[in-house]
Chains A and B, each alone.
Chain A
């Protein structure tokens, strides 16, 4: 090995020369950092639970902490028991519990004091599933229990393990815990604007606005306006002609709807509107009411009604983003122009049928 070892001194060396001071210096790094990292944070964070911090301890009506008569330890409430199951089953390996500044759609931000009552921490370092900081109240208890038992039935693409091995009691506790998450943030009027979509009043207001902004859905002008919105938002999955063969569809496990299917003849205007607004759970169809205005969605409905539905659905190969149709964005989708004419001609002839003016 190294030349140094050739000049070996065969007597035991013991603590000699620079060894002792060097060891002390080197090893004090670890100790110093431990102190630096751990100690200053103890008083500053521990003493300040924020108004959003969740209580996990059973309390009497007068606010005093209930204690176990044998051990003297505080008794956890239902959420506290659920939290223990959450930690025991390792939910935090795949679900984080802090909303980052850049995150969208996970609700309001978190602050240090929100975590004052949490131990062990379940912040998480990986998001194989969504963040759960503000999960409470979004979905009913029954959904959570059923989803924990059989995740893929409720969210088709999920890789979450099934927790059907938990007892009913444990599942109830766990769901009670999930429902407390972010609940205080949700109830704070200051955060109202973030959660608007989840309040019943907001839902009511939305449908009122929808009625108020409803254009004449049977007009060619509305369908024309809808065609543009369709091309911008829908065609990438549903295809330019609504055959469910857009470029994105190729990679999807749940294929987008093919609007040439005759079953869509049965759709009323309101059904179309509701489907567009609420999306399809478990697929990639988004809730468009979070992105589009009511009027825009009505225009879309007007356009969707013009798509041809015959005896059998038309099946065509998946469209490529390189194809000529996608290059010429100004052109209307094939077959749509004729349908406008059919519609407007039909309106002009007041219900005598549009077959004469086809093409």
Chain B
């Protein structure tokens, strides 16, 4: 059963490593870089679509067949998607760095690259939905719901949000920009990440999920509440008031799915928390769950008008966005990767010590990064709120930029260790064929 996926994930693994190479160097770029404005879209798009999306898709291509107890519909198609996606990201990185941009945040890729990504995304979706139809279990586990939801929503959001075929004027452009910009977070990364974590936690802890109905409640509420929240990025702009009200109410309501998901995670882990000390994938996933708590408690509150008028436009928001994409979903999918790489290839991880270094460098680096941005955001808030000219307070942010760069360097270094570790693992001889591995080889070691 699992052998069906081996080929595929080797292909995906190559894609991932390729993605890692050009995704992580950008984390180190400080604000004062000479060509920051060119690097920023290249960084955002490459980590979002190159690293996080590709890693998530790779994990899903393993999880969905595993949960459906069937083979993937077409490995050839999946490999095709993988190559296409890699080409798109590679070309996209080069074109963005050279200034070929659409000039819309998160949607900077030019039209031809958009088309490549839509084809790749569509083929993965088609592949997974066909797999779902040939499933051999009756009841769908919650991860399947989350993941299939993401694969239905994302192509729609991407096509609508990128306006590859239709361009709009003025505020409509802004509204659609943020419909897209926030929904790739909400209806793609969040849904995929939570789906993966819902798969990982019971699998690793060996216990059933605490409440299936609560998990389904979380899925339906996120499906219901997420889509119209994007306008909270434009709360003080002259967009229609009813759109803002809709965005604020639905953003605040997102606290419901968040709490239900986290209660379920934590209750599932009840009695198994000791696994944090020895089991590396579960440590990554639970750390992601911790950052999920932070970022998703911030989110509904900072979307309300009272807090938004103070916090908006500042680096606080940048810290929040990184807490979601890096702190939460990157941690989730790294956990899934460490878990999956052994299951799929039948090889033992090259070095547990490197995994630990990876974990601690990433965590410490990211914590520094997040705190620096949050504090810088609060300083900026004061400046804007009191109406002081920027030149009067911009120098006070210098220490924060420095700390942020230090955090970024640690994270970049940890990612290099990660890539090296995975590369060496893939070079090793398998300890058994994939078919024989019934139980994952746990990545265990001393607790530290």
Interface residues of A (CB under 8 A from B): 1-5, 7-17, 19, 23, 26-27, 29-31, 33-34, 36-38, 41-42, 44-46, 87-94, 96, 98, 100-105, 110-130, 155-159, 161-162, 165, 251-253, 282-284, 286
Contact = CB atoms under 8 A, between A and B. Distances in A.
Given A27-B153, A112-B239, A119 B169 contact: yes
A88 B103 contact: yes
B79 to A, nearest CB: 23
B309 A102 contact: yes
Interface string B128-161: 0000011111111100000011001100110010
A119 B227 contact: no
B387 interface: yes
B314 A127 contact: yes
Given A105-B387, A125-B105, A112 B238 contact: yes
A15 B133 CA distance: 6
A98 B153 contact: no
A29 B392 CA distance: 47
B278 to A, nearest CB: 21
Contacts of A284: 391-392
A127 B380 contact: yes
B99 interface: yes
Interface in B388-409: 389-392, 394-396, 401
A121 B101 contact: no
A159 B172 contact: no
A129 B187 contact: no
Contact of B394 (A4, A33, A110, A157): A157
Interface stretch (B29-37, B112-120, B259-267): B29-37
Contact of B233 (A2, A15, A90, A125): A125
| Most central of A2, A37, A41 by chain B CB within 10 Å | A37
22 contacts: A2-B208, A4-B141, A8-B136, A29-B227, A30-B156, A30-B157, A37-B230, A41-B243, A45-B169, A45-B170, A89-B38, A92-B103, A104-B387, A114-B238, A115-B169, A115-B174, A121-B171, A127-B384, A129-B390, A158-B394, A161-B37, A283-B391
A194 to B, nearest CB: 14
B390 A38 contact: no
B437 interface: no
Interface of B: 31-38, 40-41, 67, 69-70, 99, 101-105, 133-141, 148-149, 152-153, 156-157, 160, 167-177, 179, 187, 202-203, 208-209, 212, 220, 223-224, 227-228, 230-231, 233-234, 236-240, 243, 309, 312-315, 317-318, 380, 384-385, 387, 389-392, 394-396, 401
Nearest to A99: B236
Contacts of A286: 389, 392
B223 to A, nearest CB: 5
Contacts of A17: 138
Given A34-B179, A93-B37, A157-B391, A27 B152 contact: yes
A30 B394 contact: no
Nearest to B35: A161
Contacts of B101: 87-88, 90
Contacts of A45: 169-172
Given A30-B156, A116-B170, A121-B170, A102 B385 contact: yes
A251 B394 CA distance: 11
| Most central of A29, A38, A44, A113 by chain B CB within 10 Å | A29
B228 A37 contact: yes
B138 A121 contact: no
A96 to B, nearest CB: 6
Nearest to A53: B170
Contacts of A155: 391
| Most central of A2, A122, A127, A251 by chain B CB within 10 Å | A2
Contacts of A124: 313
B104 A161 contact: no
Nearest to B44: A93
B317 to A, nearest CB: 7
A85 to B, nearest CB: 9
Contacts of A157: 391, 394-395
A356 B148 CA distance: 93
A100 B160 CA distance: 28
Contacts of A126: 313-315, 317-318
A207 to B, nearest CB: 23
A119 B149 contact: no
Contacts of A7: 138
Contact of A119 (B153, B173, B394): B173
Contacts of B209: 1-2
B134 A118 contact: no
B40 A98 contact: no
B175 to A, nearest CB: 6
A41 B179 contact: no
Contacts of A3: 208
Contacts of B173: 118-121
Contacts of B103: 87-88, 90, 92, 120, 122
